[in-house]
C-alpha cells in the first residue's frame, strides 16, 4: 500500500544514504537497516534523521496550512498556481499528490518511519552496551516525543478535533507504533485511541528523561514533553491536566521581554523563551519565501491587524509595510542582523513559553478560575506593552469577554506560527474572514466537513482498510 511503501522507503537510512531511485532505496533499506542500528552511533544518526525529516514538514505545507485555512492571513495573489491556494479556498483535491494534501501526509509518515525505527532498535542496544544506557534512554525519550508529535500533527490535519463527538469515537488517523510490512493494511483509529497513544508516548518519554532537563532548544526535552502535554490536554478539554503541565513549563522557563523577544525572530538565536524549534541551518527557505519581504505569498489580513489597538504593542515590530505602506508583511522569518551564508537559518517554533501561558489562561477559565486566567493573560499583554502586570487591567467578571480576549491574544501572539485554523476548529467557532480576503470563502460554519484535508486518493487506492473523510473525499 502507499503508506507502507513510504515507510519502507524513507526509513532511518535516509539520513545517511545518498539519493537513489525507488528500487535501490527499498532494497538497500531492507538489507542494511539492522546493521545501521547495530550500535549507538547508528541510533544517534537515525534520531538526527528524524529531526531532519521533521524540519522538512514543519518548514513547508504543514506549518502554512493552519494559517492559510484560517482567518488571520490573506494570500497576496489568487491563481491556480499559487502555493496553498486550494487550502485557502477549501478546494483541496484527494488527487493532489504534489501539494498540501499529499505532501503533509507523506512527510509526516516519513518522519514517523524514522522515529519508529529508532524505537524498534534501541532496546536491544541497552543490553549490548550497558555503559551507554543513559545515552540510549535519552535517544528513546526524544524519539517517543517525536512520535507523539507526528501523530498529533497528522491528526490535526486529517481528522476532526477531539471534541467533534462527545465520546471522541469519530475517525482519527492510523496509530503506527512500528514500521508496517508490505502486507499490512493499517486502518484509522478513533480520536480517543489516537490521543491515548499520544499521551502514553509522552508519559513514557517523561519517565525516561527523569531529572534531565533541557540543554538546548533544538532537541526534545522534558520541557518539550510538558509543553506538548499542555497542548494535547487543551485540545482534549482536560483542563486540570492542561493546567498541570502548563504550570510545570512556566515554573521552569521565563517569557522573553523587549529586545530578547524580537531577537528570537530576527537574530540567529533560539530565543530566551524557546522550548523547541527545529533547526533550519542551510536547509529549506520555504517559510522565508512564503512570507517574503518583496513578494510575499501570504500577508496579515485586516482581521489580524484590527486586533492591535495599542501602537506601542511590541508585536507590531514583527510587521513590515507592504507597497501600500500598510503593516501587513510578517518579519518572523526574516534575519535582521549581518550573517554569512553558512549561518542562514529559518527555524520554525514548535513551542515557546508565550503559548503555554495562553494555554493555561484558557484552561483556568474553562475550569472556573477566571482570576487566574486573567493573571496569565495579563502577563502576555503586559509584556507586549512593556508594562508591569499590575498596570494591566483585565475584566475577569465576564467569562465570555475574557474568553474573547484570550482568543484575540492567541491570534496576535501566535500569528504565522501554525495555530490559527486549528484553534478555530477546536473552539467550534465559525470561520469568519475579513474584508481584505481575496478568497471566495468568507465564512464557514463549524463543525464542517471542509475543516479537514482529504486522505490522499493514492492511499485509499492502495489500502482497502483506509477510510476517506466525508465530502472532501467524495
**Among 34-43, 169-178, 238-247, the least confident range:** 34-43
Q: Is the pLDDT of residue 182 over 90?
A: no
Q: Is the pLDDT of residue 21 over 50?
A: no
Cell of 76: 497576496
Q: Is the pLDDT of residue 268 over 90?
A: yes
Confidence of residue 3 (pLDDT cuts 50, 70, 90): low
pLDDT digits (tens, 9 = 90+) for 121-158: 999 999 999 999 999 999 999 999 999 999 999 999 99
Confidence of residue 2 (pLDDT cuts 50, 70, 90): low
Q: Are 107 and 456 in contact (CB under 8 A)?
A: no
pLDDT digits (tens, 9 = 90+) for 374-388: 999 999 999 999 999
Q: Is the pLDDT of residue 390 over 60?
A: yes
At 7 the pLDDT is 43
Confidence of residue 35 (pLDDT cuts 50, 70, 90): confident
At 33 the pLDDT is 79
DSSP secondary structure letters along 396-450: -S-HHHHHHHHHHHHHHHTTTSS-HHHHHHHHTPPEE--TT--SS--EE-SS-GG
Q: Are 357 and 250 in contact (CB under 8 A)?
A: yes
The CATH number of the structural domain formed by 2-221+276-280+416-460 is 1.25.40.390
Q: Mean pLDDT for the chain?
A: 93
Q: Is the pLDDT of residue 320 over 60?
A: yes
Assess whether the previous peptide bond of 150 is cis (omega < 30° from 0).
no
Mean pLDDT of 87-91: 97
Mean pLDDT of 440-461: 97
For residue 363, which of 198, 250, 194, 207 has the smallest C-alpha distance? 250
Q: Is the pLDDT of residue 343 over 80?
A: yes
Q: Find the Cα–Cα–Cα–Cα dihedral 141, 145, 151, 157, rounded to 10°.
A: -160
At 32 the pLDDT is 67
Q: What is the pTM of this model?
A: 0.94
Confidence of residue 103 (pLDDT cuts 50, 70, 90): very high
Neighbours of 107 (CB within 10 A): 24
At 78 the pLDDT is 79
Mean pLDDT of 306-320: 98
Q: What is the rounded distance in angstroms from the CA atom of residue 38 to the CA atom of residue 43?
A: 8
Mean pLDDT of 110-123: 96
At 273 the pLDDT is 98
Element (H, E) at 192: helix 191-209
Residue whose cell numbers read 503508506: 3
Measured in whole angstroms, the distance separating CA 379 from the mean position of its chain's CA atoms is: 24
Q: What percent of the chain has pLDDT over 70?
A: 93
Amino acid at each position: 500500500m502507499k503508506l507502507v511503501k513510504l515507510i519502507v522507503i524513507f526509513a532511518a537510512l535516509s539520513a545517511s544514504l545518498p539519493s537513489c531511485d525507488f528500487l535501490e532505496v527499498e532494497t538497500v533499506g531492507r538489507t542494511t537497516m539492522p546493521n545501521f542500528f547495530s550500535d549507538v552511533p547508528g541510533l544517534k544518526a537515525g534520531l538526527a534523521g528524524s529531526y531532519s525529516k521533521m524540519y522538512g514538514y514543519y518548514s513547508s505545507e504543514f506549518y502554512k496550512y493552519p494559517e492559510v485555512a484560517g482567518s488571520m492571513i490573506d494570500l497576496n495573489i489568487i491563481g491556480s498556481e499559487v502555493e496553498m491556494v486550494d487550502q485557502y479556498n477549501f478546494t483541496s483535491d484527494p488527487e493532489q499528490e504534489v501539494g498540501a494534501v499529499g505532501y503533509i501526509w507523506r512527510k509526516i509518515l516519513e518522519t514517523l518511519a524514522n522515529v519508529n525505527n529508532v524505537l524498534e532498535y534501541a532496546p536491544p542496544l541497552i543490553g549490548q552496551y550497558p555503559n551507554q544506557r543513559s545515552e540510549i534512554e535519552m535517544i528513546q525519550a526524544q524519539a517517543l516525543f517525536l512520535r507523539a508529535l507526528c501523530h498529533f500533527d497528522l491528526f490535526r490535519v486529517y481528522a476532526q478535533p477531539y471534541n467533534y463527538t462527545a465520546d471522541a469515537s469519530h475517525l482519527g488517523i492510523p496509530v503506527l507504533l512500528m514500521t508496517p510490512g508490505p502486507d499490512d493494511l493499517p486502518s484509522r483509529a478513533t480520536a480517543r485511541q489516537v490521543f491515548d497513544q499520544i499521551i502514553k508516548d509522552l508519559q513514557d518519554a517523561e519517565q525516561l528523561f527523569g531529572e534531565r532537563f533541557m540543554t538546548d532548544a533544538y532537541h526534545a526535552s522534558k520541557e518539550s514533553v510538558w509543553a506538548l502535554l499542555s497542548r494535547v490536554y487543551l485540545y482534549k478539554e482536560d483542563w486540570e491536566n492542561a493546567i498541570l503541565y502548563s504550570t510545570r513549563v512556566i515554573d521552569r522557563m521565563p517569557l522573553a521581554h523587549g529586545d530578547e523577544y524580537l531577537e528570537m525572530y530576527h537574530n540567529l538565536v533560539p530565543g530566551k523563551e524557546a522550548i523547541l524549534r527545529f533547526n533550519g541551518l542551510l536547509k529549506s527557505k520555504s517559510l522565508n519565501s512564503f512570507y517574503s519581504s518583496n513578494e510575499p505569498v501570504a500577508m496579515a489580513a485586516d482581521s489580524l491587524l484590527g486586533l492591535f489597538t495599542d501602537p506601542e504593542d511590541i508585536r507590531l515590530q514583527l510587521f513590515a509595510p507592504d507597497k501600500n505602506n500598510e503593516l501587513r508583511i510578517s518579519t518572523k522569518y526574516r534575519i535582521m542582523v549581518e550573517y554569512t551564508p553558512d549561518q542562514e537559518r529559518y527555524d520554525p517554533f514548535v513551542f515557546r513559553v508565550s503559548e503555554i501561558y495562553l494555554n493555561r489562561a484558557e484552561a483556568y477559565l474553562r475550569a472556573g478560575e477566571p482570576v487566574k486566567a486573567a493573571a496569565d493573560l495579563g502577563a502576555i499583554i503586559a509584556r507586549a506593552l512593556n508594562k508591569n502586570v499590575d498596570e494591566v487591567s483585565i475584566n475577569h467578571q465576564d467569562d465570555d469577554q475574557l474568553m474573547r480576549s484570550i482568543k484575540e491574544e492567541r491570534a496576535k501572539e501566535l500569528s504565522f506560527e501554525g495555530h490559527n485554523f486549528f484553534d478555530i476548529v477546536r473552539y467550534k467557532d465559525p470561520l469568519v474572514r475579513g474584508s481584505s480576503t481575496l478568497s471566495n470563502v468568507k465564512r464557514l460554519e463549524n463543525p464542517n466537513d471542509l475543516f479537514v484535508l482529504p486522505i490522499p486518493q493514492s492511499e485509499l487506492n492502495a489500502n482497502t482498510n483506509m477510510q476517506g473523510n466525508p465530502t472532501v473525499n467524495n
